Chains A and B, each alone.
Chain A
Amino acid sequence: GDSVTQMEGPVTLSEEAFLTINCTYTATGYPSLFWYVQYPGEGLQLLLKATKADDKGSNKGFEATYRKETTSFHLEKGSVQVSDSAVYFCALVSGSARQLTFGSGTQLTVLP
């Protein structure tokens, strides 16, 4: 079945540091890939997505590139802010599935 593996957290960075959160996947066919963000006590918000190989999703300074050859969709940001502190979820949906499959989430804390 489909699965998503994220790097384990928590991740703690200083403000303005570079962020990478790794995400790899296993899926049948050509899945669409997503990053969601969850701020404390809230629901999830879509951060970015990519629907085919080599697509780059971007939003709010975050980027992720759909790499079919390495089955990866790593999240990056060049300079994090305290307000980026949240839990980040990688997710996919494949053509044969009827539901999103989520990774376990990565807690990010940014210190001033």
Chain B
Amino acid sequence: DGGITQSPKYLFRKEGQNVTLSCEQNLNHDAMYWYRQDPGQGLRLIYYSQIVNDFQKGDIAEGYSVSREKKESFPLTVTSAQKNPTAFYLCASSRGTDPQETQYFGPGTRLLVL
């Protein structure tokens, strides 16, 4: 089955620690996205990538980093500079780079700070 997988489902971070969230897609999609969702709020874009080895900042990129070394993978690192990382993180992909293409979402990773 084609789709987007995110791992782990739950992730715990200690103060001062960097953590990496995985996102993999086997849909052969060109574009991939990372969103953050806080309770009672909509999604906010962290980073997106339209092609391998290229990515762009979204609205709330501070404290996060990404890489896109392979078409199917777009990992997100939450660095110690992100002071309020507790949230639900959603990865998405779309077939083309046109922003009006439908985005397909993974099941999400919930990050909690210990």
Interface set of A (CB-CB < 8 Å, partner B)? 4, 32, 34, 36, 41-46, 49, 51, 89, 91, 93, 95, 97-100, 102-105
B104 touches which of A46, A95, A105 (Cβ 8 Å): A46
Q: Is residue B16 within 8 Å, beta carbon to beta carbon, of the partner chain? A: no
User: Which residue, of A41, A45, A95, A100, has the highest number of chain B Cβ atoms within 10 A?
Assistant: A100
How far is B68's CA from A82's CA once the two chains are assembled, in angstroms? 40
Q: A32-B100, A99-B99 are in contact. Are A45 and B105 (CB under 8 A)?
A: yes
Question: How big is chain B's contact interface, by range?
Answer: 20 to 34
Q: A43-B105, A43-B106, A45-B105 are in contact. Are A97 and B42 (CB under 8 A)?
A: no
Chain A positions within 8 Å of B44 at CB level: 102
Which chain B residues (33-72) contact chain A, with CB distance < 8 Å? Answer: 33, 40-45, 48, 56, 58-59
Chain A positions within 8 Å of B28 at CB level: none
Chain A positions within 8 Å of B100 at CB level: 32, 51, 93, 95
Which chain B residues (56-114) contact chain A, with CB distance < 8 Å? Answer: 56, 58-59, 90, 92, 99-100, 102-108
Identify 5 new A-B residue pairs, CB closer than 8 A, beyond the known A43-B92, A103-B42, A104-B40: A43-B6, A43-B90, A46-B102, A93-B100, A100-B45
Chain A positions within 8 Å of B103 at CB level: 46, 100
Nearest CB on A from B110, distance (A)? 9
